[in-house]
Amino acid sequence: MQDSWTTSVAQHGPRRDALETALRSAIRDGRLAPGSRLPSTRALALDLGIARGTVVEAYAQLRAEGYLGARRGAGTWVADLGLSIAPSVPRARPAAPSPRFDFHPGQPDLSAFPRAAWAAALRRGLRAAADSTLGYGDPRGRPELREELALYLTRARGAVADPERVVLCCGFRHGLSLVGRALRTERATRMAIEEPCAPPHRAAAAASGLRLVPLAVDERGARTDLLGELRADAVVLGPAHQYPLGVVLQPDRRAAAVEWARATGGVIVEDDYDAELRYDRQPVGALQALAPEHVAYGGTASKTLVPGLRLGWLLLPPRLLEPVLALREVEDVHVPATDQIAFTELLRSGAYERHVRRMRTRYRARRVRLVRMLAERVPAVTPEGAAAGLRVLLDLPGSGPTARELCELASERSLALYEVAGRNAVLVGYGALPEYDAEAGLRALTDLLATVYAS
């Protein structure tokens, strides 16, 4: 037993730090059980070929931390910390091999993250930033960033954007959770949510303590004309590009949502996650502009940059600002200062919008290619939804395999496709492939579909 931790000390070098680390982890994971007697400092020093003083100091440190007990004449032993020997964190299962082509519907091309531009923006921003920028800041985010974002949202999304009402957050899911909980503090109880919708968003909304009421979606968008019947205090909508159906909220439905909010004092949570990526026309402007006093607008860098940044923003109606900031104060204060610094510079220099334009061209080309290949090789499968975003919904013919069966067939060829709940359809995220693999991936997909639906 003792051998295993002394070997680990030897591997890490004969230093006091290494000895302490090896002892701590041997005690924590049970290799040294409570009550086990440790060798004398002299014997251990000899064993390890290190100075006795080093062992004395390491034992003293671990005694001070409560790992060891000692009494003159009785030696040194492992204290009982009341730790369970079984590791408290389940060991990770071996990862399933990743598919050759993963058509994840919500993932952008991660290989396209503008690493050089981000690094340059961070360097430039940090050089210029006052020390105070690195302290506890405004829970909404830095004023310069909110200013830049407000300009961007006005320019690109037609939003009515007052920097005082912008709140940086960790992506839309976080924003939705903040708004949901803020609504609860205002005594709201019911939130309507599109059905179908992104499951994590349903979970985030439910976790905020609101009762969820499903709102149907058809080919003209969410049935906002039915909102009056639902007795909801708020509704979550994806007007620019509904997930997963890909439909755009039509003008009369936009008007109905606004009318409902004005008449009832209800709040519309606008999920504007990929509106910049429209390929056949200018994107429709943000719904927020029609009723800034009633819409909690949420944007994100998860599709335009990468989801791993966990960077998003809210544009809030006045009544929700204070409750949301109160939540920030007790949980995370604000998003990390260095990310804010880099993003401010990216926006200010125009590099963000250049990147979005480049990605729009790239994704549009992929979508056009996929739709053309399908028309030529698999006419039985019809792409649905607006020419927008990172994915397409494919409605499957009733005569062939079900969506689940098709996903299994795809998996046998190392392709990952995604089922749509409640519909015989799959989602194909053409945006997720790295550029160098996009053509091969689209070909592998259409090969599979052509085989399955050969007439």
The CB-of-169 to ligand PLP minimum distance in angstroms stands at 9
Question: Residue 173 interacts with ligand PLP (CB under 6 A)?
Answer: yes
Interaction between residue 108 and ligand PLP (CB under 6 A): no
According to DSSP, the residues that pair with 167 across neighbouring strands are 314
Cβ–Cβ under 8 Å, residues 381 and 374 = yes
Among residues 114, 163, 221, 312, the one that binds ligand PLP under rule CB under 6 A: 312
Find the distance separating the first CA and the last CA of the chain, reported in whole Å: 67
- Kindly list the strands in the beta sheet with 425-428, ordered across the sheet, starting from the edge strand earlier in the chain: 382-384, 392-395, 425-428, 418-419
Residue 182: closest CA among 302, 316, 282, 46: 316
Residues numbered 213 to 242 that lie near ligand PLP (CB under 6 A) are 238
Query: Which residues neighbour 305 within 8 Å (Cβ) at sequence distance 6 or greater?
Result: 108, 113, 114, 311, 352, 355
Closest to ligand PLP by CB, 27 vs 217, is 217
For ligand PLP, the closer of residues 148 and 271 by Cβ is 271
Task: Pick between residue 198 and residue 438 the one whose CB is nearest to ligand PLP.
Answer: 198
Task: Give min distance, CB of 201 to ligand PLP, in A.
Answer: 6
198 contributes a contact to ligand PLP by CB under 6 A: yes
Q: Least distance (Å) from ligand PLP to the CB of residue 178?
A: 12
304 binds ligand PLP (CB under 6 A): no
Query: Which residue from 208, 302, 340, 446 is in contact with ligand PLP, where contact means CB under 6 A?
Result: 302
Residue 441, H or E segment = helix 435-452
Instruction: State the greatest distance between any 2 C-alpha atoms of the chain, in Å, as a whole number.
Output: 89
DSSP-derived secondary structure letter, 223: -
- Taking the C-alpha atoms of residue 413 and residue 236, their distance in angstroms, rounded to an integer, is 37
Among residues 20, 67, 106, 180, which is the contact residue for ligand PLP, using CB under 6 A? Answer: 106
Q: Using the rule CB under 6 A, is 144 a contact of ligand PLP?
A: no
Nearer to ligand PLP, 18 or 428 (CB): 428
Of 40-79, which residues contact ligand PLP (CB under 6 A)? none
Least distance (Å) from ligand PLP to the CB of residue 97?
Answer: 23
Of 38-46, 61-69, 165-173, 217-225, the window that binds ligand PLP (rule: CB under 6 A) is 165-173
Inter-helix orientation angle 143-157/337-348, to 10°:
40
- Retrieve residue 157's tokens: 């999304």
The C-alpha atoms of residue 168 and residue 335 are separated, in whole angstroms, by 7
Helix segments in 49-82, DSSP class H: 52-64
**Around 263, how many Cα atoms within 13 Å sit in the side-chain half-sphere?**
12
Asked whether the beta carbons of 396 and 403 are under 8 A apart, the reply is yes
Neighbouring C-alpha atoms within 13 Å toward the C-beta of 378: 24
| The one among 109, 271, 276, 339 contacting ligand PLP by CB under 6 A | 271
Shortest distance in whole angstroms from residue 235 CB to ligand PLP: 14
Piece in contact with ligand PLP (CB under 6 A), picked from 93-101, 167-175, 411-419, 447-455: 167-175
**Binding window for ligand PLP (CB under 6 A); candidates: 261-269, 299-307, 366-374, 393-401:** 299-307
Residues binding ligand PLP (CB under 6 A): 106, 171-173, 198, 238, 243, 271, 273, 300, 302, 307, 312
